[in-house]
Amino acid sequence: MKTMLIVDDEPAIRSIISRWAETRGYTVAEAEGAEAGLARMHERQADVAVCDLNMPGHDGGWFAEEVRRAFPETGVVMITGVDRSEAETRVPKSVVTWLVKPFRLSDLVHAMDQVVTWRQQHATLRQ
């Protein structure tokens, strides 16, 4: 994995994740909402998309489902500020994994490891 799209309506969250990802060799793109994120995916598909659940307009669930349909090899990681029990019911099954804010960078590292494993399994199934 080398490319990441970060979709969140909070610029500070996008900035933190972006800086972290760039230090780990990712080429990063950002979008402030689900619609803009999907447009970015059509411009340049990302290997992984990190997306907030709650955003104005279409939410992260919509984004994750649209990405899964159009870009099935992109792993989606959902981040959310809702509590764990609500996240369990609201986060779509199409995501690889999800994190509740605030999360530690070590949690994000673990999520990226899960995406790598998922992508390897997905590639094996395609072959």
- Read off the CATH number of the domain in which 39 is found: 3.40.50.2300
How do residues 103-121 score in pLDDT, each as one tens digit?
Answer: 998 999 999 999 989 988 8
Q: Collapsing DSSP states into helix, strand and coil, what is residue 63? A: helix
* Surface-to-core class of residue 6, CB atoms within 10 Å of its CB (0-12 exposed, 13-18 middle, 19+ buried): buried
Q: Predicted confidence band at 75 (pLDDT cuts at 50, 70, 90)?
A: very high
Domain of 89?
Answer: 3-126
Is pLDDT larger for residue 1 or for residue 65?
Answer: 65
Q: What is the mean pLDDT of residues 38-63?
A: 96
To the nearest whole percent, how much of the chain has pLDDT over 70? Answer: 98
Q: Which two tokens stand for residue 22?
A: 């760039």
Q: What is the mean pLDDT of the chain?
A: 92
pLDDT of res. 1: 63
Q: Is the pLDDT confidence value at 124 over 90?
A: no
How do residues 6-40 score in pLDDT, each as one tens digit?
Answer: 999 999 999 999 999 999 999 999 999 999 999 99
Overall domain count for the chain: 1
C-alpha–C-alpha distance, residues 57 and 44, integer Å: 22
Name the E strands within 11-121: 27-31, 48-52, 75-80, 97-100
Of 2, 14, 13, 27, the C-alpha closest to 112 is 2
pLDDT of res. 122: 80
